[in-house]
A and B are shown apart, each in its own frame.
Chain A
């Protein structure tokens, strides 16, 4: 019996100490728990916050793992009632988090902290608003956009004007046919113009849909319009483009031969032209500084067809900082996200990333911040960087294009929409299992069913009516 008592007493004492210690340590200082990316640049940025906010104790937890894994961690923490005070989210998922009632609306903080929507790139701010209740749920941190990149040497070799990229879809299809190359066994050895996500392009589907005048959802995201005639037409063209470069199976097989970094397909001439993100500039500077490349915006096809006018269009994603529901220190949390997305935080991040690139002996090119004034500083910093004029001009163009950018429709079914439009439904068309119309009709039905389910749930819970 004595031994049993001893074990019991020791365990009780142990638990008592742990509990007391936890309570004491959390009560003594205003701690702020932040779940965000790690690494040298980020950690330097957090340190700068800590320096300027000595009364807040920043507890930083680096987010590791991929997209899915990070999401699961945050979800379990929120569900378990122990969320961090601040979390880093993919902006196009903000609406999903909001629909699940996992985030704190930020509207009431805006006047108090003198934050104004006009300080941020409009689209990035809007993307953080949940369209069902029109509340702001995150502050946008960074963004990106998509452009056409092409290899001028390949253009010259093929007898094309290296300084001009064709504008119409018909011309672009011709270009693709002309520049796609096969070996004697029929294997693809070069894709002429990559426009399909995962097969050399990034974000092509979205931006081309808008360029063609298509809409993916209604304004308040209650109805899916993925089978919009203009989107069907877009998908049809994507199928033609893919068939022109050997068909999807051969393109996928070709993809298996691609490398990364200096061996990336665009840098070694395995892709002649592509729609890709502005981050490509930094990759060029780092891995292919002598690449003779051209860059141009994607233009609105609908407007061009009517008025012969060139109006750019692009597509932006990016990240944001949000405050989970049930955060213990929401006021300091807002101060943190205001700071980190604002002029001081972005400056700290930029300085840290320039210093880091320098220490690694790498060239540096800026990312696009959501905070407008920060981007001016970024371009000034770029001017002093030892990168080619072509890269500087390209970066400048990518910054200017933000005025024309759009973002994926905000809805709790956004991820499903992405899986269909960049995956399942698109592949059904690319593999010729269904016509583009049939594929998008079916996808529309599936996404709408999921959306209706979420809407039912949301309307019941909030007592609001959207339909």
Chain B
């Protein structure tokens, strides 16, 4: 066995070297996390001294803030509908682009490209695409005789519009799925072929199980990411129309940085943490039923 640490002096030197990082982690990450937990039990408006209010913030949040529930609903809507759609579509594209055909690299680039566009630029672009009068989507719909909806101006269609826009950025997940597909051993397909499996059976009984850890990862990251959705709504709709796109983090942002209810906002942040924690735990608990790890 190699002995890494020689003497005390080296230990001290090592600690001095990592000190900036430890300080940064403590001051800028762990510190605020602890502070936000404490503030969630306080009435705190930044400039005035915080006042302890017990569970008031949590009570107010759950009982007397209709926008809290509305924003939670909006966010869960995006998660429940948006995340599975995103996975299905990015997996499908990955499967198509895994066919070892001519121009494969070109198409992979094309599909990946949108996901490197910054959120702000993407939002501005999609405001044009989604414009009901002059936008591309409604124009295309009109070609097949459908009168497109009002998208971002409509309470009903604003969230679906965001989901569609999100599907434009499947490139990131697609790349992850492609990597996963490369890892499916060819001999399993060969064996399946020998056993007389058709394409669907190969997909269902070979590809999907072998890909399940990747799907699991993408699912968890997708849920966490979508629960924190903010930028698009901030830029494109300001939470409207009729709070249809007031997402959880946006409501939190309004409470914290517009009304200066830092205590309340902290409570919201911790509640979101609990939601994410529960969602992830459920996923982890369910995982053994469908996620297959080769090493097991």
Contacts and interface: CB of A to CB of B under 8 A. Distances in A.
A53 B45 CA distance: 37
B153 interface: yes
Contacts of B132: 187, 253, 256
Interface string A236-275: 0000000000001110111011000000000000000000
A52 interface: no
Given A187-B133, A257-B131, A416 B259 contact: yes
Contact of B47 (A102, A250, A253, A433): A102
Most buried by B among A4, A68, A78, A256: A256
A250 B242 contact: no
Contact of B9 (A3, A100, A450): A3
A112 interface: no
B131 A431 contact: no
Most buried by B among A7, A78, A249: A249
Most buried by A among B147, B152, B259: B259
A424 interface: yes
Contact of B258 (A68, A101, A187): A68
Given A4-B12, A100-B45, A101-B48, A252 B259 contact: no
Contacts of A433: 242
A431 B258 CA distance: 25
B143 interface: no
B68 to A, nearest CB: 13
Nearest to B43: A457
Nearest to B128: A256
B140 interface: no
Contacts of B13: 3-4, 7
Interface residues of B, number: 33
B191 interface: no
B54 interface: no
Nearest to A454: B45
A253 B9 contact: no
Contacts of A423: 238, 240
Contacts of B81: none
A100 B45 CA distance: 8
Interface string B253-280: 0000111100000000000000000000
Contacts of B155: 431
Given A428-B242, A431-B242, A433-B242, A75 B12 contact: no
Nearest to B142: A185
B46 A75 contact: yes
Given A3-B13, A415-B258, A248 B241 contact: yes
A187 B134 CA distance: 10
Interface in A425-465: 427-428, 431, 433, 450, 457, 461
A72 interface: yes
Nearest to A442: B66
A446 to B, nearest CB: 9
A256 B242 contact: no
A19 interface: no
A7 B151 CA distance: 61
Contacts of A254: 133
Contacts of A431: 155, 241-242
Given A4-B9, A4-B13, A427-B242, A253 B133 contact: yes
Contact of B243 (A75, A252, A253, A424): A424
A7 B238 CA distance: 51
Given A75-B260, A415-B259, A253 B153 contact: yes
Nearest to A431: B242
Interface in B177-216: none
A102 B134 CA distance: 47
Contacts of A78: 47
Nearest to A450: B259
A185 B148 CA distance: 11
Interface string B216-249: 0000000000000000000000101111000000
Given A3-B9, A72-B257, A252-B153, A461 B48 contact: yes
A193 B200 CA distance: 61
Contacts of A79: 46-47
Interface in B1-42: 9, 12-13, 16
Contacts of A100: 45-48, 260
A249 B47 contact: no
Given A68-B257, A423-B240, 6 more contacts: A7-B13, A249-B241, A254-B133, A256-B128, A424-B243, A431-B241
Lowest 6 A-B CB distances belong to which pairs? A252-B153, A253-B132, A256-B131, A249-B150, A249-B153, A100-B47
Interface of B: 9, 12-13, 16, 43, 45-48, 51, 127-128, 131-135, 147, 150-155, 238, 240-243, 257-260
